[in-house]
Chain A
């Protein structure tokens, strides 16, 4: 069997050499088609993956409509919470784990006075953040609930910032100065940067540079740190006249997350949100029925359009491209196989069965596919350099040439070519032995 297989491969190789132009055209066609699809697929895969697969079904974003039907967008509640509602959710503590967050930008002042201050961007959040999102730590750990309440200036820094400030040494317990305030380091995270950054879609940071610092939410608010991210006030004009009235007003700027382990818990949380909205209505704050949402990670990313439209358009185009290349290959294979009708007739007359013809020609197509795949790999590699042109660097960096992509390229190339070869092979197998012998 395997002897026959190699015999077929040898036959194929001989035949491919006989028509170098047609063979080259087919290989190029497959190579370009596969490379175009693979490059765009690599980008698509990078932006459409699940950023936290182990927990994406347990993490939810609560949304509360504090605008009402006259001002909300197409009936949907805002994408974030105002401070009042966010803190109410935290106080009610109806979920096993819960956190709030907003983006902060702090100026790090190195101890060495010679070094210039620099900006570190990160999040003000609650202690559950680190457990909820499975943040890996290099040293130490997150702060505890006690420090949420005591508003202590503690900080978790990223591995990169730790490298920059302390040369990568264990800095837990040491102090850093940011905007003239001293913070005690309690933990150093590993390089951790889920893409897209599902927990901060509100500020448009899906593909931003990794966060470098995390500080307690209550401390940040007490120190009047303004959000470094988005602030959305809607058009009802209720936005306050100064910091205090803004903080307690209806502008939304806080992203909230809750972890709910079972469907029953999620349902109970929905009930709680509706109950909260009804309370607010009874208190006169909302004059509309509850209009809340509780989306899990997948639904949230979809709602926030995490996959850039460019990526979807290119993927569809690349698939169309692959189809054209396959149609082209079918045509070329047909030409190639039918040109050998006399040879097929002789083989058939000498006793080769249809199955033998099938095997021989599909093996030949497989070799074309393999060669096309190898060319496709080279072109995919080149294309990977080129994608920086189309997507912002943050997204382009995500698309990598890894083992799975290499294998996929080869498999797609061979499978597509063999598939394309079925019709030409079928036509070849239809060649009648007697007729061909007669005509020559």
Chain B
């Protein structure tokens, strides 16, 4: 394994906007990610426990987590809710065809909405795929998701040349692990 892993991380480009640039994490960061991606130990001093297991000091573990958070590798350290179990059974991937020149401005508008958990600019693949703005919309059921999508359509107004909502019918695979061991 190389000592340094090249990572893409989002750098703030104004409020609510991230683009990818390259930074580095080292082998120790990698071990910390692997040891924490399934959750922190539920003990009084979780970072001390992790440090013992990794042969580091608790200060080092916490400083590295803090640095990764500052660099955007860690979004936050939190209690991570499972929206489905909380009754938000509807989730629809809304996709929008908006002018490329406006996608950033419109994306920021949509990305700030309460009901939207992810909002990304992605490339079109013409002629099969004309949508360049993706927003994951959550609601208690399909009807609520559709209502929220209609609100987004109103908000975007004339900028929208076309849109669609793709509901998921089956989860075929879902693993939290993102970093290969």
A in complex with B: no
